[in-house]
Structure 1
Amino acid sequence: MKHCLRTNPSVYVMQYKTELGGESGAVSVPSPFPELRLKSVAFEDLSVFLASARRADFCLSEKIVHIWKIRNEGLRFPAGQLALLSEDEKGRASLLTNTLLKSRFLTFRVFLRCMLSMYIGSGPQEVCFSYNDYGKPELGSKNIFFNLSHSGDLAVAAFSGCNELGVDIERVKPVPEAVEIARNLFSRIETRWIGAVNGMERWKRFLRCWVIREACVKAIGTGLSMPLNSFEVCLPEMTGINQPESFYGRPFVVSLGTAHRLSVREFIPDDSCLGALAVLHKHPDFSLLH
């Protein structure tokens, strides 16, 4: 099945192809990747985006995942955009006392609505969310799966036509207690890998494990109600010798018990941020491609 709706030349998708394999744990998959592109659209360009959309950029086949990103660096939120949001969304925004956080929340919700409207062929204000038992938003009978993550002024949204997915991004920042947190929440191999380096490199390793875990629990729809220490993230380079970052960006598989098997792909949304996409695939030959 394909979803083919409108799009805009100023917004791009992250594209890649990967063949999945392996049984349990994290398994490196040696398939080649085509070029990977991830570009931004400014919030003030959304109206232009909707008006100049091209149908081809919003086509989702069974083996395609799109990732879009947007940035909001300002404090103001256009009042006219409030009409696109539900009363529930406006109510959640009213609970935020920080002006910057409120502006970003509203911006990213409008962004998500606009993107979904392009995939399903409705107006942004007509997008109607339902929520699972853990609060993950869904579109009910609509055959499209999506997830949103934001960190600071940056947000990314991932979309699939047939597979549940989760995406997470985090700004690279100091995490002085990285090893201590890892001991409580991560596996032994992850903790050793994080503790083997110092400074910024340690913090980056910790955050890589963190965003992968977040993406995985978001993909299965439980969020952090599923303990992060209940499964292992074994990145391919953790078992390599003198290959600290040589496997970065390759797809691998993470198993959450016997019920869930996910394909995971790390990506870099910008120079100061790390990201991970997890897809709950239904078939062992599932792939992602443009």
Structure 2
Amino acid sequence: MISVQVAWARLGDAHADLLTLLDPVERGRHDETVAPADRARFLAGCALSRLLLGELLHLPPADVPLRRVCPRCGGPHGKVRLDLPDAPVPYDFSVTHSGAVVGVAVSSDGSVGLDVEDGEAPVDVDGAARTALSGTELAALYALPPAERRLAFLRVWTRKEAVLKALGVGLRMPLRALKVSPPAAPPAVLVWPPPSAAPPDLRVSNLRPADLRMADLLVDGVHPATVAMAVTEATAVTQVKAATGLAARGAVSGPGEVRVVPRDGSAILAAHSR
């Protein structure tokens, strides 16, 4: 079974002592962010990432080596990754925030992506759906009663966003070409975009839907979220062997499952002080 730690914090959990954990690049980005709420989200996400990874790596949080390099321009942005040039990278992680919610997912079983959406914020469902959903997905959305469409759309959106974050490609991949299961069904990738639909430098044409695993979450009972895992070949082989052994012993499990280990991100941030 694939395992991923997921920690949730809130906007109000950001406090000044957490600034001591940031590296110079992070501190510069924090200080240049104008809106107080955006600064708090960034601080909480960076600090929570460092605290979780530091615990796993047995390092002081401020010493966790992180690297932000855009694959296109080389700039200090894009998906944040551990920077261990002389050793295999043991963990992947993903940061997300929406409204007052900040989340971090960490796993050693593959590349991870986490997305959350504010379940209480207004959404232009019609406009967003035409951009993000395939024809089949759009028809399924409009087959629902109007009162159910907003949350149904957000569920599909979090699934797609989590997959793209796991792959580190962001919105450069056309969302309409990536098809996922209906909101009421277990989360799964049904159709992966063909090579012709993706920018050539993304190099994801060899992926199969089976390489992507997901779990749906609900934060505070109102905010839909999804965690996605892009499983490496070695991990997939290990998971299949483990599942085969469990089945032989009469246990119920399988390589497609994602076990979410919840962590209290608010408590983790509150526990850190000078």
Aligned with 2:58 (options 114, 121, 129): 121
CA contact (8 A) 2:11 2:101 kept: yes
Q: Does 2:177 correspond to 1:230?
A: yes
Partner Cα separation in structure 2 for residue 81 and residue 275 of structure 1: 25
Matched length: 216
Partner Cα separation in structure 2 for residue 202 and residue 195 of structure 1: 7
Aligned residue type for 1:140: D
SS in 2 for 1:73: helix
Q: How does 1:18-29 map to 2 (within 5 A)?
A: none
Partner Cα separation in structure 2 for residue 214 and residue 71 of structure 1: 20
SS in 1 for 2:110: coil
Partner Cα separation in structure 2 for residue 157 and residue 184 of structure 1: 27
Match of 1:67 in 2: 6
> CA offset at residue 88 of structure 1?
0.9
CA contact (8 A) 2:179 2:189 kept: no
Match of 1:192 in 2: 139
Q: Does 2:113 correspond to 1:166?
A: yes
Aligned residue type for 1:196: A
Q: Does 2:37 correspond to 1:87?
A: no
Q: C-alpha offsets along residues 168-224 of structure 1, whole Å, 9 cap, x if unaligned? A: 000114656323432333111210121123444111111111111110100111111
Match of 1:77 in 2: 15
Q: 1:114 to 1:254 in 2, by over 3 A?
A: farther
Unaligned 5+ residue runs, structure 1?
1-16, 18-62, 238-244
Q: Does 2:104 correspond to 1:104?
A: no
SS in 2 for 1:171: coil
Q: How does 1:120-159 map to 2 (within 5 A)?
A: 120-132=57-69, 133=71, 135-141=78-84, 142-159=89-106
Aligned residue type for 1:252: A
Partner Cα separation in structure 2 for residue 144 and residue 124 of structure 1: 15
RMSD of the alignment, in Å? 2.3
Question: By percentage of residues, which structure has more helix?
Answer: 2
Q: 1:99 to 1:147 in 2, by over 3 A?
A: same
Q: Does 2:206 correspond to 1:259?
A: yes
Aligned residue type for 1:131: R
* TM-score between both structures, scaled by the size of structure 1: 0.67
Match of 2:229 in 1: 279
CA contact (8 A) 1:68 1:157 kept: yes
Unaligned 5+ residue runs, structure 2?
73-77, 194-204, 241-254, 262-274
Q: 1:115 to 1:88 in 2, by over 3 A?
A: same
SS in 2 for 1:147: strand
> CA offset at residue 137 of structure 1?
0.9
Aligned residue type for 2:214: V
Partner Cα separation in structure 2 for residue 91 and residue 229 of structure 1: 36
> CA offset at residue 251 of structure 1?
4.4
Partner Cα separation in structure 2 for residue 90 and residue 219 of structure 1: 25
Aligned with 1:178 (options 125, 137, 141): 125
Q: Does 2:149 correspond to 1:208?
A: no
